[in-house]
Homo-oligomer: A and B are copies of this chain.
Amino acid sequence: MIPPRNADHRRPLTLRDVSEACGVSEMTVSRVLRNREDVSPATREKVLASARALGYVPNKIAGGLASQQVNLVAVIVPSLSNMVFPEVLGGISAALEDSGLQPVFGVTQYSVEKEENVLYEMLSWRPTGVILAGLEHTDAARAMLENAGIPIIEIMDSDGEPIDSVVGISHRGAGRQMAEAIVKAGYRKIGFLGTKMTDDHRARKRLEGLTEGLAEHGIELVDTEFYSGGSALKKGRELTEAILTRNPDLDFLYYSNDMIGAGGLLYCLEKGYDIPGKLGLAGFNGTDFLDGLPMKLATIDACRREIGEKAANIIAGKGYDDGVIGGHRIELTPRLDPGDTIRR
């Protein structure tokens, strides 16, 4: 075993060390390091030189306690392995870039109990605001959010009552929109394939929307097929094979996300199905890294990046010059891209 090189337990540097090194009061050093204007250029240079030379890194724990302000934004999402949420986080990071605020991410694995724990942890850091996915929370989490006294932005989903602000799309609406498109294109025997959605409320709402939308045209879903875990692409193939074997006369398959839709598409192409002629397909999310498949899968864009940006901007107070931080309701309109897999 190589001996530890970094196990020195030297006391970290403090303002006092910098102060002594440059012969300026701690207070003035603090001013310089916070880029305040009321310091003479001469002292400023002296201080910065010492700080750099020593390798001083300010202690935000102490700073936060003294100033009662912490420039963190808590961001809580169900998963990172989904490709959906990394894009939301990208939007948030970009929007917060020059705001002086820093996002901190937490993951719930689609469990409201885990969400409650993560939230408790994060609130204990006294963040400037909270962004979290969805409108469904435990009672305790809801209470914490209501009492936090900071902006709370619920994102992704606008089907329900937010605690404070909400930025999202109507997943029920997306389901209905897809139902309209399917019916208008002349498909009649429709199957649904998706995740087991005990805790994925948005997928559930899309299915509900689809069902309602079809019902208005007197159409009922013929069959459904659910999965959990595993490679989505592969699962898409398997589910598709299963549902088409059971119901050879299906003429449309609606997938709860683009990845399983892509798997289904590959399967159907291999089997020689006439797409979109005899069989139509659609997914959800507008996953652009799937561009490059043999055909472009029909999908509805979930506006992931934009949702992240808008939510972050509310907390950063950007673009909302009414000065009001709380109580925003931003419902984005997702665009349906028929791609190559819905006939026209």
Contact surface of A with B, Cβ cutoff 8 Å: 1-10, 12, 55, 57-62, 64-65, 70, 80-81, 83, 86-87, 89-90, 93, 102, 104-105, 107, 120-121, 123-126, 143-144, 146-152, 163-164, 231-237, 259, 263, 266, 270, 288-294, 322, 324-329
Contacts and interface: CB of A to CB of B under 8 A. Distances in A.
Contact of A57 (B1, B90, B123): B123
B6 A149 contact: yes
Nearest to A93: B107
Contacts of A58: 124
B59 A4 contact: no
A289 B86 CA distance: 16
A55 B126 CA distance: 14
A142 to B, nearest CB: 11
Given A3-B324, A60-B126, A80-B90, 5 more contacts: A5-B326, A6-B151, A12-B126, A55-B143, A266-B294
A1 B322 CA distance: 9
A328 B1 CA distance: 7
Contacts of A4: 164, 324-327
A259 to B, nearest CB: 7
Max chain B Cβ within 10 angstroms of own Cβ: one of A58, A61, A293: A61
A54 B326 CA distance: 23
A216 B105 CA distance: 46
11 contacts: A3-B324, A4-B326, A6-B151, A55-B147, A57-B144, A60-B124, A83-B83, A234-B291, A235-B292, A237-B292, A266-B293
What number of copies of this chain does the assembly contain? 2
Contacts of A266: 292-294
Contact of A327 (B3, B149, B236): B3
Contacts of A83: 83
A121 B96 CA distance: 14
A214 to B, nearest CB: 28
A120 B3 contact: no
Contacts of A102: 121
Nearest to A70: B61
Contacts of A81: 86-87, 90
A115 to B, nearest CB: 14
Nearest to A152: B6
Contacts of A328: 1-2
Nearest to A56: B147
A9 B149 contact: yes
A72 to B, nearest CB: 9
Contact of A126 (B61, B123, B151, B231): B61
Given A81-B87, A102-B121, A290-B231, A65 B61 contact: yes
Contacts of A104: 104-105
A253 B10 CA distance: 52
